[in-house]
Structure 1
Amino acid sequence: MKVKEALTWAIRQLDLDFIAKPKIDALLLLSHTLGKKKEWISAHPGESLSQEALKSFKDAVEKRRNGKPLHYILGCKEFMGLKFEVNESVLIPRFETEDLVGYLIERYARRAYTFADIGTGSGAIGVSLAYHLPLSHIYATDISEEALVVARKNAKNIGVDERIKFLKGDLLEPLKDVIDRIDVVIANLPYVKVEDYEELPLDVRREPEQALLSSERGIGVYKTLLLQMKTYGISTAYIECTPAEIGELTAFIFSLGFGHRVIKDSGGAERFMVIGVEI
């Protein structure tokens, strides 16, 4: 089978299972299988696939048809121009989160700051900040040791491991001994309501449940974080959530004496909140 034929076959297979972007997925899976760039695939439609490559490609397409997230099959996801390893232990970084990281990079480039990336997962936020803000220092926490293994590897691969300290534990708890060093907290925590979980696409439900689900109408984890901020005297935080969660959180934020401001993403949706004093 030739490259063009393989792509056509894969697109049809993926389309049968209502994969949202069958053409893109087919191209990326073939590029991954052959170890070639997408441009090479497009420029060599008549190139023949070996039997081994064809089998590997068909296996990858079958995994995608069965709901395995594309980037788990590829083993990586690009974020802020950097290549992050991902597997079933971590949530796949979303492009919307790049808007928040880009905002932070622009705002905090002028001098050295210490950030705390809470619920770091793959390390996408903390590692990206360390890479793009070379004066910065990062603490990153996660409750999952498996996720921290992935995050540490990404920090090392990208060359910023000497400026990131990874700690296992619940939210701010691992930072008790260094809390006075933290200038800014960033958190992209679980905010999917339990009742909404089954409505998520199959491939999203293949990502770690503990990285998606939150109690109390989606704001339970953030309420715990806010209470810890109050206890430890943290005055500046940026969080990612949905417009519904922003509305739910507002009264609780005010009850703790924090101010807040909403930041829209590049698509115009209210997705991020600055809590406390923006330094």
Structure 2
Amino acid sequence: MTRCTTRLIIVSLFLLMWMGGCSTKVVVPPVTLDAAQLHLDGKFVWFDLFTTDMTAAQNFYDRVFDWNFERTNAGNAQVKTIFSSGRIIGTMIGRDGEPGDSQWLSYMSVTDTDHAYEAALRSGGTGHVPPKDLPNRGRIAVVLDPQKAPVALLNSPVGDPPDRKPRANLWFGAELWTTDVDGAVRFYTPLGGYQSEQVDVHDAVSYTVLYTNDQPRAGVVSIPWNDVDPQWVPYVAVEDIQATVTLIEDNGGRILIAPQMDVKSGRVALFADPTGAIVGIQELEPEED
């Protein structure tokens, strides 16, 4: 992901939010249909795909993860809601850009968007979209952390999706790629109310897990390549990682990191979709008898 891509995504989100308050209103869905008023600070509760080719992206995710896409507004074909097994999980937003410039934007739940936004700025972050209300979605802001990874801060009026047992083709959390693991942990710990723990995933990799109430919320790791900017990468749970890797390659995706037995027992991989957006996959643990 280039810094130009980051700017384009932020501009696209700003335009979406602006349209939500004008005569050509774009009505986006809430982050959950449960409406339980359950707020889980620090949880990544929503993911938006900003893509330069909506048709290619939709066909890819439909074939790989069996996701469904529905036009969010009858009069606007550039915004679609994403469903998995009938559950609402994200939005796809079309935008201009060079091939390969697509990216997912991750949303962190916060109790008070304005307070979190100001706290992020005081801690060395950069404000790019100040707090603004988006109908149904809630109060949103976007900041770049000190290493320039974009993250959205969200307080949802209906609450957050409840914690559930992981299921195939649904989100499995998010991972921050950064140039400064310790600095990133210091920045995000108060922002999300996290506790942190360094864990062993590979001899050459420093990996930190962020928790709230003993529930893992995200991972923090050094960027795996020199030519990639800091960013949050969403993960999808899968039943069979090797079969999913084959589906990804057969449908135009590119495997960036293949499953390796010395990394989480070969149960994780990373890929870029045909439009350039990066996603991780993690195989579910086998069911115990």
**TM-score over 0.5 (shorter chain):** no
1 or 2, which has the higher strand percentage? 2
Q: Which has the larger radius of gyration?
A: 1
Considering Cα pairs closer than 8 Å and 6+ residues apart, tell me whether 1 or 2 has the greater RCO.
2
TM-score by length of 1: 0.30
TM-score by length of 2: 0.30
